[in-house]
Structure 1
Amino acid sequence: MRLDKFLKVSRIIKRRPIAKIVVDGGKAKLDGKIAKSSTEVKVGNILEIEYYDRYFKFEILEVPSGNVSKDKSNDLVKVLESSGINIDLSKEEEILG
């Protein structure tokens, strides 16, 4: 399954066009390498995504053949890491005066 479709099916990103923009913008890595939206996803891959001001790292547990129900979408990935990207505003305030 393509990476952009997997992001939609697993409900990591709600809409496929948005998933394609995020991935093709260089914000997704698959096993440590920058991925394209057409990259094939396999069980055991480690997926890293920067989305807005958040960073996520997932292990892919299952790749479905098609769409899945909302209840089963949680079984597709395991969250390994999740954090916000912190911006130090104090430095910006010093620069701006």
Structure 2
Amino acid sequence: MRLDKYLKVSRLIKRRTVAQSACEGSRVLVNGKERKPGYAVKVGDEITIEFGSKPLRIRVLALVETTKKQEAEGMYEVLE
């Protein structure tokens, strides 16, 4: 699954276009490296998203094409 789509489906970022611009703006790191929106996310990847001054670090637990709001939190585990 593409990185930008994962961020949108997991509801970490509200819109896919916002997720794409965050990736292109070097605000999203996967396993410590900057990645483009088309990067293929895998289970176990650690994603860091820089929201302002407070970064959010998560571990990917599941890849699902579509999900309900209540089930979206099961797609990742918050590390920091």
TM interval, shorter chain, is over 0.9
TM-score between the two structures when normalised by the length of structure 2: 0.96
Shift of 1:28: 0.7
What is aligned with 1:38?
38
Deviation for aligned residue 1:51: 1.9
Please give the root-mean-square deviation of Cα atoms over the aligned residues, in Å. 0.8
Runs of 4+ with >4 A deviation: none
For structure 2, which runs of at least 5 residues remain unmatched after alignment? none
Indicate if the aligned counterparts of 1:22 and 1:51 stay in contact, CA closer than 8 A.
no
Give 1:5's aligned residue. Answer: 5
Larger relative contact order, structure 1 or 2 (CA cutoff 8 Å, min sep 6): 2
How far apart are the structure 1 equivalents of 2:21 and 2:12?
14
Shift of 1:42: 0.4
Give the secondary-structure state (helix, strand or coil) at the position aligned to 1:59: strand
> What residue identity is the alignment partner of 2:75?
L
Q: Alignment length, in residue pairs?
A: 80
Q: Deviations over 1:75-97 (max 9, x none)?
A: 0000000xxxxxxxxxxxxxxxx
State the structure with more CA Rg. 1
TM-score (norm 1): 0.79
**CA distance in 2: counterparts of 1:17 and 1:53, whole angstroms:** 21
Q: CA deviation at 1:53?
A: 3.1
| Percentage of matched positions with identical amino acids | 38
Structure 1 unaligned segments of length 5 or more: list them: 82-97
| 1:54 Cα deviation after fit | 2.4
Deviation of the 1:7 alpha carbon: 0.3
Partner of 1:73: 72
